[in-house]
Each structure stands twice: as C-alpha cells, then as structure tokens.
C-alpha cells in the first residue's frame, strides 16, 4: 500500500462568508445538528489538544457533552494527564471532523472547571456502569494488567450495591472551553477548500476567509 497515492476529492458542498451566521456558536450548532441528523459516526467526538509541563502537545478524543453560556463542555478524571496539563496551561484546542459531510471545525480557547453541582448533575445522568467505571479507573496511571481494573470494578460495584444513587468521585468532573477562535472548513475540489474563521474582538466576532 502506497499511502502517498491515496486521494479523495471533496465536492459535496461549499462555504462562503454569506453562508455563515454572525455568531460562531450558532454556526457550530447548525453544523453539529446536521452531523447528528445524518447519523454521522460519533458526531460529538472531538480531538482535544493540550500542552504539558515540557511544552510538548498531547491529544486525545473526548466527547462533547454540552454547549451552554457560549462554552463547550466535557468531563474527565481530574487526575488524568489531560487534567494535569490543563492545570498547568489552561488553554486548549478542539477539532471536530465529520467525514460524511466533508467538514471540519477547529475551536480554541481558555479552559476552566465547571461548578461542582453541574458535574454532579451530569454524573448522575450517566449509565450506572459508567459511574462505576469512573470510580474503578485510576485514569492515566500505570497498571500491571486489565485484571486490576476488573477487580476494582467488582469492588466498587459491591460497595454501591443496593444504592439508588452513586455519588460523584471528588476527582471526576467537567471542564468548559470559552472559545475565542473558530474555524469552519468545507472540503472542495482540487484541494481549494473553503475556510471561514472567527476571531473574538471584544463583544463581536471578526469573520475572515482563509486560503486553504
């Protein structure tokens, strides 16, 4: 297989300055809804990039779990690698890619932890198995084998057996990204893709077309 010869031409749609809303959060929600409506694979999956203490970037896929008050929210273990890096450098980048629509969205901004009551409300909405998993996994910590996780899961399952509600672990909760940059990308033929970016300028957004 010669991956250098792999090609795909994009020709489904176009994107111009006249096609987008004045508010990037509204534009993002329009595109997200379209991805959900066509049943794109994991439409809320986003590539979260952070920076560690050695100034090296790291990235992983997480799930978008809310858009409130002009913020994008996700949840994780506060002792994970991503959380440790966000504590050092509270800025991050998100990338969404919806191959079925030949679209990508890049979002950058400052990260803060959400209020404990918001984290608790979301935790209580999760399936019981996911709640137990949050208690069982020492996320990002080295473990000898999978049996350790299986044993820990059985222990916490027994601990909370018969309890209607499982409390949220203190080391688990949400983050919110307050965006100051959005970029909407629409694939086009001949690699002449459409790119529209929003940069926050006070209370308004500057909207610009970028070369592909």
**Measured at the alpha carbon of residue 78, what is the angle toward residues 90 and 46, in degrees to the nearest 5?**
65
Cα–Cα dist 201/132, whole Å: 44
Question: Which residues form the catalytic set?
Answer: 191
Question: What are the residues facing 195 on neighbouring strands?
Answer: 185, 210
Strands (E), 56-120: 57-63, 66-68, 71-77, 91-98, 103-113
Decide: 135 and 163 in contact? Cβ < 8 Å: no
DSSP 126: S
């Amino acid at each position: 297989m010669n991956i250098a010869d792999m090609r795909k031409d994009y020709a489904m749609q176009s994107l111009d300055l006249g096609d987008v809303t004045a508010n990037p959060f509204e534009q993002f929600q329009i595109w997200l809804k379209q991805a959900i409506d066509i049943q794109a694979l994991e439409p809320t999956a986003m590539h979260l990039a952070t920076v560690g203490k050695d100034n090296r970037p790291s990235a992983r896929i997480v799930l978008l779990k809310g858009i409130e008050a002009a913020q994008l929210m996700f949840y994780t273990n506060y002792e994970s690698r991503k959380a440790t890096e966000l504590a050092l450098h509270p800025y991050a980048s998100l990338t969404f890619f919806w191959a079925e629509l030949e679209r990508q969205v890049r979002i950058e901004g400052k990260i803060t932890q959400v209020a404990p009551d918001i984290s608790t409300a979301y935790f209580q909405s999760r399936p019981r198995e996911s709640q137990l998993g949050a208690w069982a996994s020492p996320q990002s910590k080295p473990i000898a084998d999978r049996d350790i996780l299986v044993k820990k899961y059985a222990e916490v399952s027994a601990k909370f057996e018969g309890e209607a509600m499982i409390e949220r672990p203190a080391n688990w909760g949400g983050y919110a990204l307050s965006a100051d940059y959005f970029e909407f990308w629409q694939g086009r033929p001949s690699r002449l893709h459409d790119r529209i970016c929003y940069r926050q300028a006070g209370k308004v957004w500057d909207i610009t077309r970028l070369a592909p």
